[in-house]
A = this chain, B = another copy of it.
Amino acid sequence: MPYFDAASSAPLHPVARQALQASLDEGWADPARLHREGRRAGLLLDAAREAAAEAVGCRPDELVFTPSGTHAVHAGMSGVLAGRRRVGLGVTVSAVEHSSVLHAAAAHEAATGGAVTEVPVDRFGAVMPDTYADALREDTALACLQSANHEVGTEQPVAEVAEVCRSRGVPLLVDAAQSLGWGPVEGAWSLLTASAHKWGGPAGVGLLAVRKGVRFAPRGPADERESGRSPGFQNIPAIVAAAASLRAVRAEAAAEAVRLRALVDRIRARVPELVPDVEVVGHPERRLPHLVTFSCLYVDGEALLHELDRADFSVSSGSSCTSSTLTPSHVLRAMGVLSEGNVRISLPSGTPEAEVDRFLEVLPGVVSGVREKLGAPAGSGGGGAVEPDAAAGETAGPVADPARTAGPADVRASLVVDALGRRCPIPVIELAKVFGEVPVGGTVTVLSDDEAARLDIPAWCGMRGQEYVGEQPADHGVAYVVRRVS
């Protein structure tokens, strides 16, 4: 049963399982106690800290264990922000950080008024070191940058940004959740966070490294454990399993990275050949070895996941219909790429080549099946009839002159599609259906209250070589204007 969602959580590595089971007998006692059971637990904890610190590339006394990667991020960010309060309250983050970073920044802003500066990314999802440098201000107390993106796999220029931060005296926190299993994070970072279940370790273990010299003041109620940086009774069997499996995956990482990168390259190359109207997203070279993401025009992401699941493939998606908030992934938004029909494939270590080949066999039929059900336009052109509820006359009234340059003579050259109340990918499908009906130079205006339209209509224009004119507020939604240029 092919599981292609390692970036959410990887299956337990055999070494993690062995270490967990072996330490259940020795690791259950309180390591703060003086008795032999406590001392034994303490020895296991010390050994795990040494092993994990070596893999991270820090001193053991710089590393604490937390109950999750999220806890590591929260504790790391709040500790630096409290410790450097005199410098200022500003936080700089990339726009494509994991939600744990963005939510911690937002909570900090809400509680203290400290401004959050988001550094934009390019179409591949990467920040530019110069842009990052420009986002650092006098009052910036903390900068955050992931080592690699969790949704599209793009590696960030961490070493360059760390150098920029160092020269400005701003500590850089690197969220290495997606990359630590593949290798240490290079560069002069100040804090690093990670999560064991992403590399095949057990749930319940995060890592927080804080370099000596970083001003750090733990927040929240006092607790002596883990240098006062992570409260609560330590889960030593899980910590032992996390450290052991990190060493194990690192030993296999170089060879496995080459193998998986070849499989991912195959997916990146073949999917656009096999499936029409697909956009592969993320950087073509500077990326994680095991992760690839693409989006399919005219496809409902949830239906696609469901059909792939029926075909035994487990993947995830950043489409709006697969999120509880019905908004597309903030990563795809920041990149400005198509979000509908989004599929993230992240291969666990050991994924057989045959599973990838079978996926490539299955995918075209699955996508075309979903498109058919939705009545999507076939092929790569527009075509199809205007749906009854998308007639121009009824809704043209409330919409302001969309193209601004269109005079009265052009009225017949424009159409309005009312997709209010319809969810992704319907607004884009409706646009495509009527688009052939306006002459070159004419416009189609799509009325939509679906957040995904803001991303997907411009993306459609890019894929189709048509002109995206812009958006305007409209009754109950937004009017998106597209001009036919060919």
A residues engaging B (CB < 8 A)?
1, 3, 5, 8-12, 17, 20-21, 24-25, 27-30, 33-38, 67-71, 74, 100, 103-104, 106-107, 195, 197, 202-204, 206, 220-224, 231-238, 302, 305-306, 309, 314-316, 322, 324
Contacts and interface: CB of A to CB of B under 8 A. Distances in A.
Contact of A74 (B3, B220, B322): B220
B34 A233 contact: no
Given A74-B220, A204-B204, A36 B233 contact: no
Total copies of the chain: 2
A99 to B, nearest CB: 8
A107 B309 CA distance: 48
Contact of A302 (B30, B34, B309, B315): B34
A144 B29 CA distance: 27
B33 A8 contact: yes
B28 A5 contact: no
6 contacts: A34-B309, A67-B71, A69-B233, A203-B233, A203-B237, A203-B238
A231 B68 contact: yes
Nearest to A29: B9
A67 B225 CA distance: 14
Contacts of A221: 74, 100, 103-104, 106-107
A346 to B, nearest CB: 12
Please indicate which of the listed interface residues A3, A21, A33, A74 has the most CB atoms of chain B within 10 Å of its own CB.
A33
A12 B34 contact: no
B17 A204 contact: no
Nearest to A302: B34
Contacts of A324: 224
Contact of A316 (B33, B67, B202, B305): B33
Contacts of A74: 220-221, 231
Nearest to A1: B36
A68 B232 CA distance: 6
Contacts of A33: 5, 8, 314, 316
Contacts of A309: 34-36
Given A103-B222, A195-B233, A68 B70 contact: no
Given A28-B9, A71-B231, A221-B107, A238 B204 contact: yes
Greatest chain B CB density within 10 A among A5, A9, A309 is at A9
Given A17-B24, A103-B223, A235 B204 contact: yes
A204 B107 contact: no
A11 B220 CA distance: 30
